[in-house]
Chain A
Amino acid sequence: MTGARAPGTLEAALRARRDAGHKLLVPYLTGGMDDGWLLALEALAGAGADAIEVGIPFSDPMIDGPTVQEASLRALGRGTTPDGVLADLSRVDVGVPLVVMTYYNVVYRAGHERLAGLLHASGVTGAIIPDLPLEETGPWAAAADPADVATVLLVAPSTPEDRIGAVCARSRGFVYAVGRMGVTGEQTELAASAREVAARVRAATDLPVCVGIGVSTPEQAATVCQVADGVVVGSALVRRLLEGAGPEGAAEFVGSLRRALDAG
């Protein structure tokens, strides 16, 4: 439980949307994956995203499947760097909160305080670092908390009951419920674990709960949001961008997710 702590920027924004009766839609794209990625980012906001997750590419994306791996490789091949992605983000104002997703070595190499400061200065309100589990979060969080960068922690289907509370208590912004045991990637069917994990996290916290990993279609998003507050949709969008859908195609897909969530 979050207790008396004043909610940060990301949490406040997501709570406001939830309290207004909306389901939360958080699309993901990899920063620097092509020349037009900032246009795609703006298109996502215009198509109904409540927050956007921006990947800072890493050479060894361990929890990502082939689609995001490909986008990361393309981004790195174009010379994309963490500082470059953040400089790009600082030049746009998409009107919804931005959350970065990256791996811990990128954070560690940049320096906790330096990166937290850069994120804040670039208008980023949250960070998802999937290979930084609860026990290892301390040094990063000590830099991120004062910079008002929300460190979003993950709960997995394998997380035991007695651990969920501790993870939720340290999570900021929202709690990322991992929908299936596996890496990111499109799935033809929603795993049963997606709704189960959402329900278990909901029971443990009042923070917004978004399910990601294995949510690929408007139908799946709507189904999981019968239990969760929102969804993170990554590979299904990134694939379309890799295939050249462009900002229009990205907006069309995210619009279809938005309509499915709004229809309940």
Chain B
Amino acid sequence: MTARPTPRPAGGRIMGDPGPTGRFGSFGGRFVPESLVPACLELEAAFRSAWADPAFRAELAAILHHYGGRPTPVTECARLSAELGVRVLLKREDLAHTGSHKLNNVVGQGLLARRMGKHRLIAETGAGQHGVATATAAALLGMECVVYMGEVDTRRQELNVFRMELLGAEVRAVTSGSRTLKDAVNEALRAWVADVADTHYCLGSVMGPHPYPWMVREFQRVIGEEARGQCRELLGGSDPDVVVACAGGGSNAAGIFAGFADDSDAGLVAVEAAGGAALTAGIPGVLHGMRSALLQDEAGQILEAESISAGLDYPGIGPEHAHLAELGRARYVAAGDGAVLDAFQLLARTEGILPALESAHAVAWVVAAAASGELAPGTTVLINLSGRGDKDVAQVRDLLRGRR
């Protein structure tokens, strides 16, 4: 990858405050029914006030440290680097409590909900990671929790349903539409309309109506800020050449990018699932409260994403990513299921780390780009390892058996 001059919007930071209309360039916005507009406005005001309040930030940081295990380390991958010919570093979000970066966001939103006087959290989930994280935050903060999950996913991820129930949450199977993640978001939004007075919708990624894309990115910014400092220490004061993350809705990518987008020349690469590549195969549209890139047909009907990783099975992507793509500040690429399975095994074999299938997309792109020479030998690459693969072991076993 060659370094390119960094475009900067006049007067602002690239990953800054999207303002009262929640715009990232022409993307974002607040496309929700009138019933939800006041709740979105209230949430934005509450987040602005909390985020400017040192006491709120201190409480969040303390929980993420003492309970969540932050800061997560950056691991130098000697054996994988030798195999690929590029220097690979991993930001270890897999070591955070509940096994992924999702905890950063849910603790932030849980504290914010409490600050707003709401005692009940609802959430959507695909694979179950965000549902488990939300159920965890609800247990920690003593709140009620209901998780909406597509009926298809409740069957694919039975164990995570049980995990959520153990954590005291109620899981409601969604039987509308395609019965997967996008329908779980629809159903959570529908439920929020009915219970908005006492319920906070704890959205799981940098998507949805303003202020969610911005707020969730800010709650995930801790990944990028930690990683920036850790890399400087490891690399003698330099930044990595390239920062790579997988993207479904795009929250772990936005979190790590936020540490580098504005005042570093590090290249930024987000890897979508080939079957859900909104920024490779999608076109601009409006869904779930935001204008962004979406998989859709010529009449504007939303198409279903398809991937081995349920966490990336989403036909859209957060609006800030559409903007970063338009600016050319980040690149959006895709990895297919086969390459992802190979990368999953490679990381396990060379480094003793089982990545989440989602995170394995980022590894897969690095493997391919190192092989093709797109990443020149000796390039330093920081991969956001967004989660651990324990949840995926049974699925990977079945897929590998099917391969043989």
**Residues of A bordering B, CB below 8 Å:** 58-63, 65-66, 69, 73, 76, 81-83, 104-110, 130-136, 153-160, 163, 167, 178, 181-183
Contacts and interface: CB of A to CB of B under 8 A. Distances in A.
Would you call the interface of chain B mostly helix, strand, loop, or mixed? mixed
B126 to A, nearest CB: 15
A63 B196 contact: no
Given A59-B177, A82-B299, A136 B196 contact: no
Contacts of B39: 158
A95 B286 CA distance: 34
Nearest to A80: B299
B299 A159 contact: no
Given A158-B39, A158-B196, A160-B38, A62 B301 contact: no
A131 B190 contact: no
B133 to A, nearest CB: 24
Given A62-B189, A69-B176, A131-B289, A82 B300 contact: yes
Given A58-B301, A59-B302, A178 B35 contact: yes
A63 B31 CA distance: 12
A130 B189 CA distance: 13
B139 to A, nearest CB: 28
Nearest to A176: B34
A155 B193 CA distance: 14
Given A105-B285, A109-B298, A155 B196 contact: no
Contacts of A60: 177, 182-183, 186, 287-288, 302
Contacts of B194: 181-183
Contact of B38 (A69, A108, A154, A158): A158
Contacts of A63: 33, 35, 190, 193
Contacts of A130: 33-34
A153 B34 contact: yes
A76 B301 contact: yes
Contact of A183 (B193, B196, B296, B300): B193
B301 A135 contact: no
Interface of B: 21, 29-39, 176-177, 182-183, 186, 189-190, 193-194, 196-197, 284-289, 291, 294, 296, 298-302
27 contacts: A59-B302, A62-B186, A63-B190, A63-B193, A69-B176, A82-B300, A104-B286, A105-B296, A105-B300, A106-B299, A107-B300, A109-B285, A109-B298, A130-B34, A131-B33, A136-B29, A136-B31, A156-B34, A156-B35, A156-B37, A156-B38, A158-B35, A158-B38, A158-B196, A159-B38, A163-B38, A182-B190
Contacts of A134: 34, 37
B186 A109 contact: no
B299 A109 contact: yes
A181 B37 CA distance: 12
A156 B40 CA distance: 14
A154 B177 contact: no
B135 to A, nearest CB: 24
Contacts of A65: 190
A96 to B, nearest CB: 26
A158 B37 CA distance: 8
A156 to B, nearest CB: 4
A264 B35 CA distance: 29
Tell which of B39, B193, B300 has the most Cβ of chain A within 10 Å.
Answer: B300
A110 B33 CA distance: 20
A134 B288 CA distance: 17
A106 B193 contact: no
Contact of A136 (B30, B35, B177, B186): B30
Contacts of A83: 299
A134 B40 CA distance: 14
- Ranked nearest first, the 3 interchain pairs of A and B with the lowest CB-CB distance are A109-B300, A156-B35, A59-B301
B322 to A, nearest CB: 14
Contacts of B294: 105
A60 B29 CA distance: 18
B296 A109 contact: yes
Given A62-B189, A66-B176, A133 B37 contact: yes
Contacts of B196: 158, 181
A104 to B, nearest CB: 5
B31 A133 contact: yes
B80 to A, nearest CB: 40
Contacts of B298: 109
A236 to B, nearest CB: 19
Contacts of A167: 34
A131 B21 contact: no
Given A60-B186, A82-B299, A105-B286, A182 B31 contact: no
B73 to A, nearest CB: 40
Contacts of B190: 62-63, 65, 182-183
Among A61, A153, A183, residue most surrounded by chain B Cβ atoms (within 10 Å): A183
A57 to B, nearest CB: 8
Given A158-B38, A181-B35, 20 more contacts: A59-B301, A60-B302, A62-B190, A63-B190, A63-B193, A66-B176, A105-B285, A105-B300, A107-B300, A109-B298, A131-B31, A131-B32, A131-B286, A132-B31, A133-B37, A134-B37, A158-B39, A159-B38, A167-B34, A183-B193
A182 B186 CA distance: 13
Nearest to B22: A135
Contacts of A106: 299-300
A60 B194 CA distance: 18
A133 B33 contact: yes
A133 B41 CA distance: 12
